């Protein structure tokens, strides 16, 4: 309740923090400790153990963050945890480059849905929109029909922290959504439903179903063993920057609060950087 009401965290973040704290609890239970009785050595041992178990630096960093949030909550409840907050260290996150498909591979993925399937128009619209607008999985699932302005070619998106942004969708995505709304969605809706994308059973499409859908077409295309909606978000950003888009514009389109998060994409298109250097450097 504290995280939801006072910190305003999204549902996905709440679920992640809950899982992380449950993981800490399980570790402490084997030491006959609890989250309220653990000392700094216990918590350091937990974080170090996560690294030895092969957890990624990002996962360990998130679990560290969950611990700090919980300790600050205890402090607010009158517990003396100042020493604990000072004695556990934050692991340094690793810099990892995102998976990127080239433009031909993106076209291959979008062409994967079966034209004979009753969900063909929906699935093409989803793939086109993920690539055209760089939406997060939860953002796409939360879209309402009224959020898509097909006349203007823009989307109203509610991102992390309920921050609203306007994102263009492009001609291909707009036409795919028009076809889906005309040919497919009316056949799926069984009761009044304002969500844009509907499942086969007539319910709003959820994140898990969306991930399974994208992964299915990734396998069918033979592109990647593990492909997700976030891969298309990465493609959206890197292809924009590769085409010469301004970093600040891409930050706004992605809904990043910190431009440092967007800057990872500047390291992806090495071929473009090399060609620019060869073209413009005086001693090429």
Active centre residues (catalytic): 136, 160, 230, 233, 256, 265
* DSSP structural state of residue 268: T
Cβ atoms within 10 A of the Cβ of 270, count? 9
Distances 99 to 57, 229, 231, 275 between C-alpha atoms, Å:
18, 11, 6, 22
Cβ atoms within 10 A of the Cβ of 117, count? 11
Task: Give which of 229, 269, 228 is closest to 245, Cα–Cα.
Answer: 269
- For residue 96, what are its two tokens? 């990892």
Residues linked to residue 156 through DSSP beta bridges, in sequence order = 166
- For residue 61, what are its two tokens? 């960093």
Q: Is there a contact between 127 and 113 (Cβ–Cβ < 8 Å)? A: yes
DSSP codes joined into one string, 127-166: HHHHHHH---HHHHHH-BGGGEETTTTEEEEE-GGG-EEE
CA–CA distance, 167 with 169 (Å, rounded to integer) = 6
Instruction: Return all residues near 117 (Cβ < 8 A) that are at least 6 apart.
Output: 123
CA 236 centroid distance within chain: 13
Q: Is 123 exposed, middle or buried (0-12, 13-18, 19+ CB in 10 A)?
A: buried
Strand order in the sheet with 164-168: 148-149, 154-158, 164-168
CA–CA distance, 252 with 240 (Å, rounded to integer) = 12
Q: Is there a contact between 156 and 164 (Cβ–Cβ < 8 Å)? A: yes
């Amino acid at each position: 309740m504290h995280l939801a009401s006072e910190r305003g965290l999204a549902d996905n973040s709440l679920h992640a923090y809950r899982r992380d704290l449950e993981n800490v609890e399980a570790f402490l239970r084997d030491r006959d400790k609890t989250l309220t009785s653990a000392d700094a050595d216990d918590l350091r041992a937990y974080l170090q153990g996560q690294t030895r178990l092969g957890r990624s630096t990002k996962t360990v960093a998130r679990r560290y963050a969950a611990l700090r949030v919980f300790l600050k909550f205890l402090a607010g409840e009158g517990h003396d945890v100042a020493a604990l907050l000072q004695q556990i260290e934050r692991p340094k996150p690793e810099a990892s480059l995102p998976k990127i498909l080239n433009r031909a591979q993106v076209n291959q993925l979008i062409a994967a849905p079966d034209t004979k399937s009753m969900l063909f128009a929906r699935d093409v619209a989803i793939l086109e929109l993920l690539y055209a607008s760089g939406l997060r999985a939860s953002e796409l699932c939360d879209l309402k029909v009224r959020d898509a302005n097909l006349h203007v070619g823009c989307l109203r998106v509610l991102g992390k922290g309920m921050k609203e942004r306007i994102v263009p969708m492009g001609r291909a995505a707009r036409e795919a959504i028009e076809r889906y709304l005309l040919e497919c969605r009316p056949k799926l809706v069984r009761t009044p439903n304002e969500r844009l994308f509907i499942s086969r059973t007539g319910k709003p499409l959820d994140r898990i179903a969306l991930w399974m859908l994208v992964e299915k077409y990734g396998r069918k295309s033979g592109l990647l063993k593990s492909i997700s909606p976030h891969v298309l978000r990465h493609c959206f950003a890197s292809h924009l920057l590769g085409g010469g888009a301004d970093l600040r514009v891409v930050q706004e389109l992605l809904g990043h609060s910190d431009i440092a998060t967007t800057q990872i994409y500047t390291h992806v298109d090495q071929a473009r950087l090399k060609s620019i250097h060869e073209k413009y450097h005086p001693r090429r």
